[in-house]
Amino acid sequence: MKTKAVRVLIVDDSAVVRKCLTGWLGDNPDIEVVGTASDPYDARDKILSLNPDVITLDIEMPRMDGITFLKLIMQHRPMPVVIVSSLTTAGSRKALEALHSGAVDVMAKPQSYSISHEGAAVLVEKIKAASASQFRRNPEHQHTEFHSRPTSVEGIGRTYHPKEIILIGASTGGTEALRKVLTRLPADLPGICIVQHIPAYFSTTFAKRLDELCSLEVIEAKSGDLVKPGRVLIAPGGYHMLLKNNGAGYTVLLNEGPKVHHQRPAVDVLFESAMNCGNASRTLGIVMTGMGSDGARGLLSLKNAGAETVAQDESSCVVFGMPKEAIKLGAANRVLPLMTLPVFINQHAGTRASSLRPTGVATPQ
């Protein structure tokens, strides 16, 4: 039996962009563009008349900006929204606010308005992920501001073996999931390396925003950066991130090698590089929400080499694809809800620290 096509409404004030996105999606049998809208007022009427499954939404529009409209959608008719916007530095910060306000994913607006096979494939993947997402109204969107910071309890200065490390991979839904985890962690943790499937430009803003909110230092990684306690390294969009054993500990290397699972950065690249460093027994690997299978085989390699491994559970994922594949392979020692992860990470670090004195972690809200 044929799967029902995902019904998409495209919202953008540019007729050229509307035509481009319609063209990108037009040949895919799994997607049906049921309409386009030039502004939020037009979109409001077409949501009611066309009942789309997913909306693509620009941020900068006349009469009403996209974020204001997104918040109205989440209040009155919650549904999956993919932001398609210019991801400059300023635009990326607004896109990050859109994700906090309920958008499922974000994509850079096309630079070229001709048919692009790569651009079309990315947009199709994001729309399918949005359609498959466990979309729900999030009460946090109504009761907290984008600039708020959860209260966390500082650690007490635990120390670690220099090759103790935490690795995290995520995709669709991951930016918000990572925010919820990292902002509830103390600063005295082993070095953390994160691969989040993310567009170029956006990773810089994402890292800076997390750094403002977290007790941990969060930076966008550069080749040669040292992995050290209290620091989180975020793989930049468009670059794979690998661990390199420098004798005393780890540094990271970036490259523009071939995409893996259609992704660069890819979670499997990071995980496999950690396994190849030969210290998997000092590694905690975590696969979080996301579409596809990236990270599953790398997590299995880590587990087989002696690492502690975790997958996020289905009920707390926006998209269960990546954790599901890891669980199917038997790669996860534990399957945990999102808001249990900060507590588990902190407790696991306590068992690995030179000093085993207890430390605090924020109570999940």
Burial of 315 (0-12, 13-18, 19+ CB in 10 A): exposed
Q: Could you tell me which of 63, 88, 125 has the C-alpha nearest to residue 292?
A: 125
171 included as an active-site residue: yes
CB atoms near residue 354 (< 10 Å):
9
| Residue 178 to residue 207: CA distance in whole angstroms | 11
Tokens of 272: 């496999």
215 included as an active-site residue: no
- The catalytic position among 12, 188, 294, 313 is 294
141 included as an active-site residue: no
For residues 260 and 268, is the Cβ–Cβ distance under 8 A?
A: yes
What are the start-end ranges of the H helices in the chain? 15-26, 40-50, 66-76, 89-100, 117-132, 139-143, 174-182, 202-213, 267-276, 296-304, 321-328, 341-352
Structure-token match 């204001």, residue found: 68
What size, in residues, is the chain?
A: 365
| Residue 281 to residue 270: CA distance in whole angstroms | 16
- 106 bridge partner residues: 83
- The catalytic position among 100, 197, 240, 261 is 197
DSSP string, 24-92: HHHT-TTEEEEEEESSHHHHHHHHHHH--SEEEE-SS-SSS-HHHHHHHHHHHS---EEEEE--SHHHH
- The catalytic position among 171, 203, 293, 301 is 171
Structure-token match 């953390």, residue found: 192
DSSP string, 194-213: EEE---TTHHHHHHHHHHHH
Q: Is 356 left (phi over 0), alpha (psi -120 to 50) or beta?
A: alpha
- DSSP assigned state of 314: G
- Distance, first Cα to last Cα, the chain: 43
Residues acting as catalytic residues = 171, 197, 294
